[in-house]
Amino acid sequence: MGVWLQAASDVPSTGYGAALLQMLLALAAVCVLAVVALRWGARGGLGALGGRGAKVRVIERVHLDARRALYLVRVGDKVLLVGAGDGPLSVLCEVDPKTLPEEPEARATSFADVLDRFRRK
């Protein structure tokens, strides 16, 4: 019983309210820093394969099951169908780029656009 009384006496005189306020302010600061870092990273092309103007781009991805997927990848002037699974990646075939439909123009996606898409689902 004496341990509990001793622990209670170690509480600062400002009380738990001040500690809670300090913790909430620290959490808000971390959230603001995260938003700033994400916006800065998105403008700089962070997360894009090779940054802007990359020669390799994934056109489409289809998941076959939890471990396997097919990727349609543009590498320079070539389009490749790549299989991914438990083992190494394998190029299944080369696809004639003329047979593919026109790709929609790439547009910058903001965090708000992503949230709107998830809210609509």
Show the domain range for 18.
2-43
Look at residue 65 and tell me if it is in a domain. yes
Q: What's the average model confidence in pLDDT over 11-26?
A: 83
Domain count, the chain: 2
Look at residue 49 and tell me if it is in a domain. no
Look at residue 89 and tell me if it is in a domain. yes
What gap in Å lies between CA 78 and CA 97, rounded to an integer? Answer: 7
Look at residue 13 and tell me if it is in a domain. yes
Is residue 103 within 8 A of residue 59, CB to CB? The reply is yes
Same domain assignment for residues 94 and 64 = yes
Look at residue 74 and tell me if it is in a domain. yes
**Res 32 pLDDT > 90:** yes
pLDDT band at 89, cuts 50/70/90? confident
Report the predicted TM-score, pTM, of the whole model to 2 decimal places: 0.44
Look at residue 120 and tell me if it is in a domain. no
Look at residue 63 and tell me if it is in a domain. yes
Same domain assignment for residues 32 and 61 = no
Look at residue 106 and tell me if it is in a domain. no
**Res 49 pLDDT > 50:** no
Same domain assignment for residues 32 and 66 = no
